């Protein structure tokens, strides 16, 4: 089982709220997922085995440096809950006023 | 006494036509959210495709910074929840930076480069009172991040490192590297320790607005951290600060605590990138001439160090000078470029290739100055005219109405007129007072409205005065 703190941490990373009643469920479910993944540790990778990053044998798939169609500003803003002029507005994330 | 240890991370925007993983235009604009497509916004189901030009530019930078090259690279996802990243992750190169283990020479010191990797820029955020405003024009703009080793030991080292780094990137032509406009951004890690003991606790200073301010921020941190160390013996924890450029002090940034847990994993949407030896050799063979080489060349030609410094720092001036240097006197050329021409460029916020002055009329002007056919006084009027209107030197002179009087007898008449009305000065001259000649020359220039060649007039004056 995962600890309550660990569930909190994972929830926090995903910006999710966890109800008190849900902890037990998530402690078990997350533990089950980790246990499944842990099986990979049993594989013998001693020696020269290289880690496979991608299952695809494709390589060097490039686009050329050309400009293609873009969205209209009104379309860009369509999914935003809040806007101000042509900006998307989200909850404030920095305490001081400044540009980053 | 404490010793300061500095490491610097620099983010540089590359000036490709399109963004690194999409075909959106890579351009700065004051209008928000106009250069954006579905990929930049991280819409479900979109597929990023890597822009080959970006790899080439990063490869140029890596080789110019003496880095080793990861010939097989992949990209990684850096996961974090922050509103400037619509996808919830940034595509970067965590495991396989394109360049690693390089260096820059500053004077007789080597500053190590830990790594150089490609990543995408995020939305630009403006933090207001009621919320954070996002502009996605910058989302997906290609960046290279260059991480130095903690090899700098003074504010001067840091300034020299950044100046050199900026110069190299400028000469590669892969970025505007303008700190004021955000196309080059510097974060500094500063710590103090007693030599011979382990490094102290790092303080990060973010987003400093100029190279000189990096030096100022480090100077302030040395003072601030020394006081804490003297008082408390240690610095409790790492923190992020920013420079307030009004007071030249650093201020703690209260970024909401998220806990750095980026959960990097390989980006499955982008296949492996292989960099062949042929590609590396091709880039190496096409390296531009760098500032150091030009400095030597210009010094040997007799260009003074102030002019040299000014020219070297502006690529447009370098390219212009290179285009004319074999056709005219380099010293006069450099004086004009760094004098009246540069004033014109600065006044109008333009680069030299955007104005009407060109290598033809410029060479003509320099040669005429060299042969004393055009005076420096005339040049002062001619330069702004040519910058604005172009055309030939003769056109400029006639339009400005500043033709020289070339007719010797006409010049003689002017001088005689001046001599006739100044008998006192002639007397003074004959009594050995050299000042008198200066005064008479002034009168000649005034009488001729500046249209006689000063050297010719002076020679004629000296011979005519003896006849009195």
Same domain, yes or no, for B16 and B99? Answer: yes
Band the pLDDT of A99: cuts 50, 70, 90: very low
- Count of domains for chain A: 1
Q: What are phi and psi of B385, to 5 degrees?
A: -65, -50
Residues of the domain holding B221: 3-280
Tell me, yes or no, whether B176 and B261 share the same domain: yes
Does residue A37 form part of some domain? Answer: yes
Q: Would A12 be classed as within a structural domain?
A: yes
Query: Is residue A96 over pLDDT 60?
Result: no
Asked if A36 reaches chain B (Cβ–Cβ under 8 Å), the answer is no
B131, A63: Cβ pair inside 8 Å? Answer: no
Compare A92 and B4 and report the one with higher pLDDT. Answer: B4
Which helix (H) or strand (E) covers residue B384, if one does?
Answer: helix B376-389
Domain finish residue from B251, B280, B309: B280
Q: Is the pLDDT of residue B173 over 50?
A: yes
For the cut 50, the answer to whether the pLDDT of residue A97 exceeds it is no
The CA–CA distances, whole Å, from B229 to B61, B180, B217 equal 39, 34, 18
What is d(CA B18, CA B26) in angstroms, rounded to the nearest whole number? 5
Tell me: the pLDDT tens digits for B394-411?
Answer: 999 888 888 878 788 888
Q: Which of A30-34, A61-65, B327-331, B400-404 has the lowest mean pLDDT?
A: B400-404
Q: Cβ separation of A63 and B74 shorter than 8 Å?
A: no
Is A58 close to B127, i.e. CB distance below 8 A?
Answer: no
Segment B238-267 shows an average pLDDT of 82
Confidence of residue B260 (pLDDT cuts 50, 70, 90): low
Q: Does A74 touch chain B (CB under 8 A)?
A: no
Residues B107 and B35 in one domain: yes
Considering the domain boundaries, does residue A92 fall inside one?
A: no
Any domain includes A55: no
Give me the pLDDT at residue B432, please. 84
| Helix (H), strand (E), coil (C) string for chain A | CCCHHHHHHHHHHCCCCCCHHHHHHHHHHHHHHHHHHHHHHHCCCCCCCCCCCCCCCCECCEECCCCCCCCCHHHHHCCCCEEECCEEEECCCECCCCEC
Q: What is the average pLDDT value for chain A, to the nearest integer? A: 86
**Is B160 in the same domain as B255?**
yes
Domain of residue A30: give its range: 4-41
User: Quick check: is A30 in a domain?
Assistant: yes
Q: Domain ends where: B381, B400, B419?
A: B400
Chain B hits for A85, CB-CB cut-off 8 Å, are 32
Q: What percent of chain B has pLDDT over 70?
A: 99
Average pLDDT over residues A3-11: 90
* Of A4 and B83, the one with more pLDDT: A4
Residue A88 lies in a domain: no
Q: Categorize the per-residue pLDDT at B218 as very low, low, confident or very high, splitting at 50, 70 and 90.
A: very high
- The answer to whether residue A14 sits within a structural domain is yes
What's the pLDDT at A94?
A: 64
pLDDT digits (tens, 9 = 90+) for A43-56: 887 777 777 777 77
State residue B255's pLDDT score. 59
Provide the domain count of chain B. Answer: 3
Region of poorest pLDDT, from A40-44, B308-312, B316-320: A40-44
**B272, B297: one domain:** no
Q: How far apart are CA B22 and CA B26, in angstroms?
A: 10
Residue A9 within any structural domain of the chain: yes
- Report the gap between the CA of A81 and the closest CA in chain B (Å): 12
B88, B215: one domain: yes
Instruction: Tell me if residue B65 falls in helix, strand or coil.
Output: coil
Q: Are residues B305 and B266 in the same domain?
A: no
Averaged pLDDT of chain B: 92
Strands A82-84 and B265-266: unpaired
B245 DSSP assignment: T
User: Is the backbone of residue B121 left (phi > 0), alpha (psi -120 to 50) or beta?
Assistant: beta
Express as a percent the part of chain B with pLDDT over 90.
70
- Among A15, A84, A100, beta carbon nearest to B207: A100
- B52 and B112 in a single domain? The answer is yes
Instruction: Give me the pLDDT at residue B405, please.
Output: 81
As a whole number of angstroms, the distance between CA B327 and CA B366 comes to 9
Asked whether residue B395 falls in the same domain as residue B414, the answer is no
Give the tens place of pLDDT for each residue, B79-138.
Answer: 987 778 888 899 999 999 999 999 999 989 999 999 999 999 999 998 888 889 999 999
Q: Is A91's Cβ below 8 Å from some Cβ in B? A: yes
Q: Do both B256 and B301 map to the same domain?
A: no
Instruction: Report the CATH number that the domain containing residue B442 is assigned in CATH.
Output: 1.10.10.410
Whole-structure pTM value: 0.81
Record the tokens describing residue B180, joined without a space.
């004021």
């Amino acid at each position: 089982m995962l600890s309550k703190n660990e569930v909190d941490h994972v929830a926090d990373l995903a910006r999710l709220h966890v109800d008190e009643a849900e902890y037990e469920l998530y402690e078990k479910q997350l533990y089950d997922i980790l246990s499944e993944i842990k099986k990979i540790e049993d594989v013998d990778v001693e020696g020269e085995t290289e880690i496979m990053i991608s299952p695809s044998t494709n390589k060097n798939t490039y686009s050329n440096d050309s400009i293609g169609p873009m969205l209209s500003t009104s379309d860009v803003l369509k999914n935003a809950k809040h806007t101000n002029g042509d900006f998307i507005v989200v909850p404030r994330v920095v305490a001081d006023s400044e540009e980053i | 006494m404490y010793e300061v240890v500095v490491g610097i991370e620099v983010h540089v925007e590359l000036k490709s036509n399109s963004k690194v993983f999409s075909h959106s235009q890579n351009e700065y604009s004051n209008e928000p959210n106009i250069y954006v497509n579905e990929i930049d916004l991280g819409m479900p189901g979109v597929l990023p495709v890597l822009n080959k030009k970006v790899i080439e530019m990063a490869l140029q930078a890596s080789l110019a910074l003496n880095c080793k090259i990861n010939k097989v690279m992949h990209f990684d996802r850096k996961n974090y929840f922050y509103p400037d990243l619509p996808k919830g992750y940034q595509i970067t190169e965590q495991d396989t930076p394109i360049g690693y283990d390089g260096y820059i020479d500053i004077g007789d010191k080597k500053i190590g480069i830990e790594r150089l990797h490609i990543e995408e820029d995020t939305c630009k955020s403006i933090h207001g009172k009621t919320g954070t405003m996002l502009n996605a024009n910058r989302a997906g703009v290609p960046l290279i991040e260059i991480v130095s080793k903690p090899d700098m030991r003074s504010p001067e080292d840091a300034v020299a490192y950044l100046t050199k780094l900026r110069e190299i990137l400028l000469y590669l032509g892969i970025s505007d590297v303008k700190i004021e406009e955000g196309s080059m951004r510097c974060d500094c890690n500063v710590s103090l320790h007693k030599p011979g003991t382990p490094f102290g606790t790092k303080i990060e200073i973010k987003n400093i607005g100029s190279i000189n301010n990096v030096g100022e921020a480090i100077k302030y941190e040395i003072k601030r951290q020394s006081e804490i160390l003297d008082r408390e013996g240690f610095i409790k924890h790492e923190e992020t600060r920013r420079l307030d450029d009004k007071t030249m002090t650093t201020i703690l940034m209260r970024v909401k605590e998220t806990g750095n847990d980026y959960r990097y994993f390989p980006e499955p949407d982008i296949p492996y990138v292989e960099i062949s030896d042929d590609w590396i050799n091709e880039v190496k063979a096409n390296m531009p001439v760098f500032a150091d080489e030009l400095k030597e060349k210009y010094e040997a030609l007799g260009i003074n160090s102030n002019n040299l410094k000014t020219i070297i720092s502006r690529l447009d001036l370098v390219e212009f000078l290179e285009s004319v240097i074999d056709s005219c006197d380099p010293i006069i050329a450099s004086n004009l470029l760094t004098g009246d021409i540069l004033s014109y460029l600065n006044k109008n916020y333009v680069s030299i290739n955007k104005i009407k002055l060109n290598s033809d009329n410029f060479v003509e002007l320099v040669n005429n100055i060299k042969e004393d056919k055009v005076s420096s006084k005339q040049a002062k009027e001619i330069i702004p005219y040519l910058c604005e209107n172009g055309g030939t030197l003769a056109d400029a002179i006639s339009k400005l109405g500043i033709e020289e009087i070339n007719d010797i007898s006409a010049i003689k008449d002017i001088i005689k007129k001046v001599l006739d009305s100044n008998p006192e000065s002639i007397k003074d001259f004959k009594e050995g007072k050299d000042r008198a000649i200066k005064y008479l020359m002034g009168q000649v220039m005034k009488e001729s409205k500046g249209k006689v060649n000063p050297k010719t007039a002076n020679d004629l004056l000296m011979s005519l005065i003896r006849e009195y």
